[in-house]
Structures are given as C-alpha cells and as structure tokens.
Amino acid sequence: MPGHELVQTLVCAKILSLNTFLADWHNLLPVAGLVILAAAAVFFWLRRKPPDAAEIERQRRAYLNRVGRIVEGQVLEVVEHSASSAGNSDGRRAPALPKGRGDSHPPQRLLYYTYAISGVSYETAQDITGLEERFHLTRVAAGQTASVKYDPSNPSNSILLADDWSGLH
C-alpha cells in the first residue's frame, strides 16, 4: 500500500521535527512564556469580582441620565426600609421604620413615583440611598410634581435622581 507508507513517512517526519524542536531549550522559552501568560490571564479572569448592586444601580442611573427622555411625573412617597424587609416576597411595601433604629445595615430609602407615557401609567420606585446628601430630600412631599427620565426603548426603566441630575422641582 503506497498511500499507507506515505502517511507513515509523514507522521515520522513530523515526530522527528518535533523532537528536534523540543531538544533545544531556547525553543521552549517562548512556548513556556505563552503558557504561563495564558494561565495567568485565565486565573485573573476567573477571580474577578462581580459588580455589586450599588455599582449596577449607579451605571443604570448614568445610562438613563445620558439617553433618557423627560416626562412629568408625581412623587408618591419616600419610604425607609430595613435590609431585612427590603426583600419582601409578597410584593407589598414594607412598613416605614422609625428614625434612629440600630440595624447593622443602613436602611434603604426608596422614592416611589408615578408617570405616564402614551397613555400608559407607570408606578415605580428608585433606591435613593446615598443620594440624600446631594439633594435636599427633606422637602420631598407626596403629590409633588417631578421630571422623570425614562429609557425610550424601555419606558418602565426610569429615574428621578441621578448623580448629577435631579428631577425634583
């Protein structure tokens, strides 16, 4: 079988060329360097920290501040939730907490508001924890009119406050 002998000769030639390549240690240095670099890249990629909820919310606010359209809305209420009641599974709002309660986690402040786009009414809330210092939120009252920025491609995604913008009048 002449075809079988040709394949065997090619395999032997490749093994011989691989043996000569591996015999010189100077040829192994770049290969070993690339293997170490690839292993380090995989290691650091697997060890990266996932973004925390506060960072995701900050990015969402920045995106809506950039691309959002403005519509008039109305503030419904500002509610303080403890960390344990924030994840209420039945969908109802948790009761407001008295001031000065000693929890291990700071209370979450939610600003509930409503707005309408093309005849569709939306009622939502924004986590404003950490934004209280920038905007004087002590004057926010139920029924107050406000400007709402919303995503034109997803009108239910909206904000009243961003890091450098406030829709409160």
Domain boundaries, the chain: 2-46, 53-86+104-166
CA neighbor of 83 nearest in space, from 71, 69, 97 = 97
pLDDT above 80: residue 105: no
How does pLDDT run across 19-74, given as a tens digit for each residue?
777 777 777 788 889 999 999 999 999 998 888 888 899 999 999 999 999 999 99
pLDDT above 70: residue 98: no
Residues 48, 52, 55, 59, Cα dihedral to 10°: 80
Six token digits for residue 48: 């990266």
